[in-house]
Amino acid sequence: MPHGDTAWFFKLSGPAEAVGQQASAFQSLIKTVAFPKTAGGKPTWKLPPSWHEKPGSEMRFATLTIGADAAQDAAPGGPAAKPLEVSVTSLPWSTKDETQQLLANVNRWRGQMQMTPVTAAELGAQTHSLKLTGEGKSTATLVDLTGHIKVGGMQPPFANAGSSTTSLPPGHPDMRGRLPLGHPSVSDNGLLKGAPLAPRDTAAPNEPGHPSLTAHAIPDDTAGAANPELPFTFSTPKGWKQAALPRFAVAAFAVSENSQRPEVTVTPLPSTPEGIAANVNRWRTQLELKPTTEAELKAAVQPYEVDGAAGHLVRLLGPEDSNPRRAITAVVVPHDGVNWIFALKATAEVAKSEQSDFVKFVSSVKFRGTDNK
């Protein structure tokens, strides 16, 4: 469901028979979804009978659970049956290439279910429109697929318009079926001077709905390994503190003394036809620099490897007369159709003192179950 520059995903998956029994209730739910008039507004909906809503998490806006009578089948001797769930998540969306974004997501889902990809011309046969009855009366696109999900074959749905997605490659990381289809949309944290929020988060600090900015000390070498929803593990340098997640980030750390706001973030982004230049110019805007020239782009971007995967390292420094002067160091590495961005954004002084630890942090990243070397 596109709404402004964000698309919202409601995804129900599980054994075909159990999901089929909930198809009518699922569509009834979708039809009730309503959005406020503001472009960045969040959806509301009406739950079908025996459905329940649980709070969101780092990876989801909300989780809707269906009564125990619709539980997935439990394996003999295994754990108790688990109720079906609907994950509610979002991602960035461009009105300029909606067909390609939809096609990329459909083919990624087909790949997860070991089905062959389709072309843009075949897309119409794989989807159909569903009119919403809530405020605004917009339209949703319904995708209904039946296949065989490969164990560990889940991955987040980023609209990678620049590439097509086929079946998952051998050795795909084991995500234990927990990573939802519909990862939160991605933008930078907007904490730098002059940095716009895109899309803008309407909740300001200390307003209802805004996350706490309290940072928490974390044991070394534990942060990444403890989160199976990420496709990689990592270790954190001594002294870094886990911080409240900026909107759409999946990990955030305060690295300078007494800081309660994140200076290091990990965010996934869809690739764009503009490539690395689009990210560099976005970061330059945050530092109050003019758009890059070709010469400046070559000087700012260097080849960089993360766990054997080829990526880019970007170093930017704000104007000398800015107060405070700020810097951005970012590593962009593609993995399974997603650009993972590891960024250090801080004052020039803090950025300089933390360069060594930031390099160690990025070097510690290991993609699960994948040998990139």
Q: How much is the pLDDT for 25?
A: 94
Q: In what order do the strands lie in the sheet with 241-242?
A: 216-217, 241-242, 251-254, 264-269, 338-347, 326-335, 309-317, 301-306
Pick the CATH number of 216-367 from 3.40.1000.10, 3.50.50.60, 3.40.50.10440, 1.10.8.60: 3.40.1000.10
* Closest to 362 (Cα-Cα) out of 322, 279, 306: 306
- Which of 22-26, 170-174, 352-356 bottoms out in mean pLDDT, i.e. has the lowest? 170-174
- Banded model confidence at residue 182, pLDDT cuts 50, 70, 90: very low
Say whether pLDDT at 236 is over 80.
yes
153-162, 174-183, 194-203, 235-244, range with the lowest pLDDT? 194-203
Q: How confident is the model at residue 307 (pLDDT cuts 50, 70, 90)?
A: very high
- Which comes out higher in pLDDT, residue 209 or 272? 272
pLDDT band at 295 (very low <50, low <70, confident <90, very high): confident
Supply the DSSP string of 286-352, one letter for each residue. Answer: HTT-PPPPHHHHHHHEEEEEETTEEEEEEEEE--TTSSS-EEEEEEEEEETTEEEEEEEEEEHHHHH
For 131-162, how does the pLDDT look when each residue is reduced to its tens digit (9 = 90+)?
887 666 678 999 999 988 654 444 444 333 33
**Region 301-327: what's the mean pLDDT?**
92
Whether residue 317 is predicted with pLDDT greater than 90 in this model: the reply is yes
pLDDT at 188: 34
Residue 346 has pLDDT above 70, yes or no: yes
- Domains of the chain, by residue range, sit at 2-143, 216-367
Is 265's pLDDT higher than 50?
yes
Residue 358 has pLDDT above 70, yes or no: yes
Q: What is the pLDDT of residue 126?
A: 85
51 has pLDDT over 60:
yes
Asked if residue 125 lies in contact with residue 105, where contact means CB atoms within 8 angstroms, the answer is: no
Q: Looking at residues 343-360, what average pLDDT do you find?
A: 93
pLDDT at 12 (0 to 100): 93
Using the predicted structure, report yes or no on whether residue 345 has a pLDDT greater than 60: yes
- Mean pLDDT estimate for the chain: 74
Looking at per-residue confidence, does 133 or 163 come out higher?
Answer: 133
* Higher-pLDDT residue of 257, 322: 322
Please tell me the predicted confidence (pLDDT) of residue 331.
95
Considering only residues 229 and 342, tell me which one the structure prediction assigns the higher pLDDT.
Answer: 342
